[in-house]
């Protein structure tokens, strides 16, 4: 469930709920005003995507979100010629559309994309703010309404998938982490509908399991998984079943680790 609020200046626009961790909203607005690109970094499921959705709605900007993966190419972003009605027609990709029409192009988990994707971003993330389209011979200039935002999870970086310094230094960077305990309880309760008193043990469990990151677990429990778990409980599923399905199983496939996590869960939530 996505909780939304009306825009204070335009009641017809709904703003997705987002709980600020610091001054990131003001920083984003200042970067937007100065036409600066933004890099968001933080663990999986800590609210980076929701933050971008919130800020796009708050600023009244169109938002194109691209989930990066190994097979994503520069052409997927810029566009390609396609057969349509017996003719070859050029179709803009999401990045080109945002450059032409204005708005935010958000590349989620940028390190998962092929290297040619980051190369395409370079001339858009310096003072040139241009997008050369070799296939059409165009050189598009990004107007004041365009912004590029990328994100990645530093915990997943390795030698093969690391964000190069030449790319990192083209962005204003905002670091994210999981919310403080009371704030996370309130957010999970708001998003799931489950009472805060019942959410509190789930957040405590998440905090204990996050302490195991880098030992038995590759990643900690995301706020997203907590919302899934709380939503299942609110729908009537027994708590331990919801914890197993929405927290333990997504974290690991190792039987011994799952058994250990189940013990921690029983000791925490009863």
* pLDDT (average), residues 174-187: 95
CA-to-CA distance for 183 and 198, rounded, in angstroms? 14
pLDDT at 34 over 50: yes
| Average pLDDT value over all residues in the chain | 90
Quick: pLDDT tens for 38-95: 999 998 889 999 999 999 999 999 999 999 998 999 999 999 999 888 889 999 999 9
pLDDT score for 4: 42
Per-residue pLDDT at 64? 95
User: Range with the lowest mean pLDDT among 146-160, 179-193, 246-260?
Assistant: 146-160
| pLDDT of amino acid 13 | 58
Q: Given a cut of 50, is residue 9 above it in pLDDT?
A: no
Residue 56 burial (10 A CB sphere; 0-12, 13-18, 19+)? buried
Task: Give the per-residue pLDDT at 5.
Answer: 42
What pLDDT does 249 receive? 96
For residues 163-173, give the mean pLDDT.
Answer: 90
Per-residue model confidence (pLDDT) at position 217:
81
CA-CA distance, 239 to 244, in Å (whole number)? 9
pTM: 0.86
Any bridge partners for residue 89, and if so which? 82
Tokens of 61: 């900007």
Give the integer Cα–Cα distance in Å for 37 and 215. 35
What is the Cβ-side half-sphere exposure of residue 41, based on CA atoms within 13 angstroms? 14
SS3 state at 141:
strand
What is the spatial distance between Cα 139 and Cα 107, in angstroms, rounded to a whole number? 21
Q: What is the pLDDT of residue 3?
A: 40
| pLDDT tens for each residue of 13-26 | 578 889 898 999 99
pLDDT of the residue at 146? 96
Confidence at residue 27, expressed as pLDDT on a 0 to 100 scale: 97
Report the percent of the chain where pLDDT is more than 70: 92
pLDDT value for 213: 78
CA quadruple 48, 54, 60, 62: dihedral sign: positive
Q: What is the pLDDT of residue 86?
A: 83
| Least confidently predicted of 109-118, 228-237, 245-254 | 109-118
């Amino acid at each position: 469930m996505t909780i939304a609020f009306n825009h204070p200046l335009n009641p017809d626009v709904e703003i997705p709920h987002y709980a600020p961790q610091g001054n990131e909203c003001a920083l984003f607005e200042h970067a937007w005003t100065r036409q600066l690109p933004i890099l968001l970094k933080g663990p999986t499921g800590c609210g980076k995507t929701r933050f971008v959705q919130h800020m796009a709605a708050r600023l009244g900007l169109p938002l194109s979100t691209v989930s990066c993966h190994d097979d994503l190419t520069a052409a997927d972003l810029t566009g390609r010629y396609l057969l349509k009605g017996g003719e070859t027609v050029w179709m803009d990709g999401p990045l080109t559309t945002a450059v032409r029409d204005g708005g935010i192009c958000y590349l989620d988990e940028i390190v998962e994309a092929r290297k040619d994707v980051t190369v395409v971003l370079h001339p858009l993330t310096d003072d040139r703010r241009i997008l050369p389209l070799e296939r059409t011979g165009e050189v598009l200039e990004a107007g004041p309404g365009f912004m590029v935002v990328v994100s990645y999870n530093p915990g997943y970086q390795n030698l093969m998938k690391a964000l190069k310094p030449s790319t990192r230094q083209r962005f204003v960077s905002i670091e994210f982490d999981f919310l403080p305990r009371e704030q996370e309880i309130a957010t999970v309760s708001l998003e799931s509908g489950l009472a805060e008193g019942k959410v509190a043990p789930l957040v405590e469990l998440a905090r204990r399991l996050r302490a195991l990151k880098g030992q038995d677990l590759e990643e900690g429990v995301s706020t997203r998984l907590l919302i899934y778990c709380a939503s299942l409980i609110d729908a009537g599923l027994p708590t331990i079943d919801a914890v197993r399905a929405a927290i333990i199983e997504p974290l690991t496939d190792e039987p011994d680790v799952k058994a250990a996590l189940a013990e921690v869960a029983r000791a925490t939530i009863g």
